Amino acid sequence: MSATAMPSKPGRLQMGLALVGIGFGVATLFSGGSVLAGRDPGYVVFRPLLVYNTLMGLAYVAAGAVAWRSAGRGARAAGAIFVANLVVLGIIAWLYATGSAVAVDSLRAMTLRTGVWLALFAGLRWVGRTAPPVRRA
């Protein structure tokens, strides 16, 4: 028997959380990419936020893929994304409050993104803590 433990297969909840992260990333890439390509979203676009969110779509997909393989590493990735989004949310909330060209729709969307990644972090952390221990041979 090998002294190295094989990782256990992901459970349904872990797979579901990973798929939410991947799906959210793909949707973010398509949405942001289409606006960058010229589609009018119907509100004032704060370009730095648009670029940030579109690039984060790649991070969302990567974090979802990591979460599929490891709930612990996925939780760390989701936590990092949550913190980054929370910082950006704080910045755009401040810009909005001071009258800068940030639409309320951008605040709502960033709040949604931040909340989704908080939920993914919490779910993956819970899965990582409740998963059966890996047995070593």
Look at residue 2 and tell me whether its pLDDT is greater than 80: no
pLDDT at 3: 46
Q: Mean pLDDT check: name the lowest of 2-6, 47-51, 62-66, 99-103.
A: 2-6
Q: Give residue 38's region: left, alpha or beta (phi > 0; psi -120 to 50).
A: left
What is the amino acid identity at position 73? R
Indicate the pTM of the whole model: 0.85
Contact predicate 6/133, CB 8 Å: no
Q: pLDDT tens, 70-122?
A: 999 999 999 999 999 999 999 999 999 999 889 899 999 999 999 999 999 99
Q: pLDDT tens, 55-65?
A: 999 999 999 99
